[in-house]
Amino acid sequence: MFHKFSHGILVLDYGSQYTLLIARKFRELGVYAEIIDGAKGKVPDGFEYTGIVLSGGPDSVSDVGARKIPQWVLDSGKPILGICYGMQLLVEHFGGKVRAGTHREYGNSKVRFDAKNSHLEGMFNGLSPSEVVWMSHGDDVASLPDCFDKIGLTTDNVVAMIAHKSEPILGLQFHPEVEHTTNGKQLLLGFAKLCKHPLDWQPGEMVESCMSYVKETVGSGHVLMGVSGGVDSTVAVKLMVEALGHDRVTACFVDNGLLRKNEKQWVSAQLTELGIKDLVVLDREEAFLNALRGVTEPEQKRKIIGNTFAREFEAYARAHKSEFTHLGQGTLYPDVIESAKHGAGAQVIKTHHNVGGLPADLGLKLVEPFRHLFKDEVRKIGLQLGIPEILVGRHPFPGPGLGVRVLGEVTKERCDILREADAVFIDRLRSEKLYDDVWQAFVVLLPVKTVGVMGDNRTYQSVCALRAVCSSDGMTADVSRLPFEFLTTVASEIVRKVHGINRVVYDITTKPPGTIEWE
Ligand code: XMP
């Protein structure tokens, strides 16, 4: 796939919610990392790995059927870093004991750290004797194998860091990949050094490699590319046009009636400006809203939207089947990994995940140039391709759109109310130059009515919530500390301008325990 990046660190996934973050943090440091299934995964063809990370996971090492360390990992002679469950696997394998914890430890903890007598001391440059770390575990180490040293303990005396006495093998009970571990990145960098891995991963330089992939995959064919106006599909369609020329790329945008205010016009204009000549816009608002009528349960809404999208897209592709050989998608690495569910065929499942399942008899092959990249890496490629900041820097927008932001029943009227309120918030963020300070911002329309007073009249209208978060990847998120004055200005503008809303609240929930969207 990537002709240049055939080397990196291999991350074995045992099911932790943070596995993707491990790969992402290494890549931020300039070290390419690939994820494979912890128990059944195979090293990708032609991939040279310099070190192996064993991720965390929900299993207990003593469970029947618990996933183990594959023998080839132990035979490899490469440096190994076990994180949480990964560390417990190491302890068990080398003859120590792991005990079932009586309670789950979740959150910040302090670790007293001392690696003076370890041959791996060099890995820990920059760490202080007391480090703040992020714990998320149930089990812990009861006794260490003889061949390991204890080099870190929490204030409750839980074994937090261990190092093999002679081999380049170490374990961390906490999560260095999570932002809350203050020097987590430093630790991962130390491991990369232990692996003697060069810091040579530069996503911006991947343009050439992605273009060759597109040329090789499509040959003399013609791509039907699904576009949404979001970062991934915009960068993907631009890359395809650069690689194949205008005549062999058709961009297809579905207006499902669940988009933000003026989105169709804005996206069409931006894509045209970007030099995308062949753009098809399908107006399918009615089909989507009809399918959603009376539905309030969020998962059901998601399924209906996904299926309707697939049906509409399929109808277009079928009607124009003879023109196209390939279906283009802006699929990202997290989509591939999250859809793969540990060892199932990632490619097959992803097709379904992204477009809700197009039938095999359509005969279109897939072309997904970013299926090994994270969003921020795609942004860098976008900038390299000359795509303006206003497109590359757009906040993420969920596939099901306003369908998961209008809580309760989704109707055109309620979507219109939300569109207006959302536009006030986003326009204000832009005009006050706060848009780029938040990772994602939007308004949610609640299925709750409250009493208010406007002029001399009683009102009985809906509540909306403003959501604004800081994040680097959407996997964890903090509440944006937007100025209070700004929030009150937005609130009064919404109540004044948007008929149907008489009260505005600000969501101050972090992720976890909340999610970013409300649904
Ligand atoms: P949550 O709500 O799970 O969202 O904290 C994390 C990030 O993912 C976005 N999101 C989606 N993006 N298709 C997408 O492309 C989806 O179905 C979807 N659902 C949530 C969400 O907006 C946030 O950025």
Q: What is the DSSP letter of 238?
A: H
**Average pLDDT, rounded, for the chain:** 91
Site of tokens 């569910």: 341
What six digits make up the tokens of 422? 């959302």
| Residue of 84, 195, 210, 252 marked catalytic | 84
Take atom 22 of ligand 1 and give the residue whose Cα is closest.
Answer: 398
Q: What pLDDT is attached to residue 340? A: 63
Q: What 3-state DSSP class applies to 448?
A: strand
Does the structure show a pLDDT above 80 at 505?
Answer: yes
Cα(79)–Cα(92) distance, integer angstroms: 18
Burial category of 177 from C-beta neighbours within 10 Å (exposed 0-12, middle 13-18, buried 19 and up): buried
pLDDT digits (tens, 9 = 90+) for 315-350: 998 899 889 999 999 988 888 777 665 433 333 333
Return the structure tokens found at 420: 């207006």
Residue 432's alpha-carbon distances to 91, 260, 403, 436, 489, in angstroms, are 53, 20, 28, 10, 11
Produce one character per residue of 453-478: b if its CB has 16 or more CB atoms within 10 Å, e if not: eeeeeebebbbbbbbbbebbbbbbbe
Of 326, 488, 501, the C-alpha closest to 417 is: 501
Residue 102 has pLDDT above 80, yes or no: no
Total-model pTM: 0.82
| Pairwise CA distance, residues 220 & 498, whole Å | 51
Q: Of residues 34, 92, 164, 175, which has the active-site annotation?
A: 175
The pair of structure tokens assigned to 88 is 């417990």
Q: Are strands 148-154 and 159-164 parallel, antiparallel or unpaired?
A: antiparallel
Q: How far is the CA of 404 from the centre of ligand 1 (A)?
A: 10
Q: Which three-class secondary structure state does DSSP give residue 106?
A: strand
Residue 88 has pLDDT above 80, yes or no: yes
Looking at ligand 1, which residue's alpha carbon is closest to its atom 17? 399
Tens of pLDDT, residue by residue over 118-147, are: 999 988 888 899 999 999 888 999 999 999
- Is 86 in contact with 74 (CB distance < 8 Å)? no
Between these two residues, 253 and 1, which has the higher pLDDT value? Answer: 253
The protein residue with its alpha carbon nearest to ligand 1, atom 21, reads 398
Q: What's the one-letter identity of residue 61?
A: V
Predicted pLDDT of residue 353: 47
Active site residue 84: yes
Which of 311 and 82 is assigned the larger pLDDT? Answer: 82
* Displacement of CA 92 from its chain's centroid (Å): 32
In terms of average pLDDT, the best of 338-347, 350-359, 465-474 is 465-474
CA dist 416 and 339 (Å) reads 33
Question: Of 342, 336, 401, nearest to 374 (Cα)?
Answer: 336
Instruction: Give the integer Cα–Cα distance in Å for 519 and 402.
Output: 9
d(CA 333, CA 352): 15
Whose CA is closest to atom 12 on ligand 1? 398
- CA 412, 417, 420, 424 dihedral sign is negative
Angle, alpha carbons 152-157-162 (nearest 5°) = 30
The pLDDT, as a whole number, for residue 37 is 93
Catalytic residue list contains 415? no
Q: Ligand 1: which atom is nearest the Cα of residue 515? A: 5
Q: What is the DSSP string of 130-181?
A: EEEEEEEES-EEEE--TTEEEEEEETT--EEEEEESSSSEEEESS-TTSTTS
CA 211 – CA 413 distance, rounded (Å) = 43
CB 161 within 8 A of CB 122: no
At position 317, the amino acid (one-letter code) is A
Q: Which tokens sit at 91?
A: 């302890």
Around ligand 1, the residues with Cβ closer than 6 Å are 396, 398-400, 440, 474, 511, 515-517
- Tell how far the Cα of 212 is from the centroid of ligand 1, in angstroms: 30
pLDDT at residue 126, rounded to an integer: 86
Least confidently predicted of 136-140, 226-230, 312-316, 351-355: 351-355
Catalytic residue among 34, 131, 177, 377: 177
Is 177 catalytic? The answer is: yes
Residue nearest to atom 11 of ligand 1 (CA): 398
Predicted local confidence at residue 342, as pLDDT: 44
Q: Which residues are CB-contacts of 464 (< 8 A; sequence separation ≥ 6)?
A: 418, 421, 443, 444, 445, 446, 494, 501, 503, 504, 505
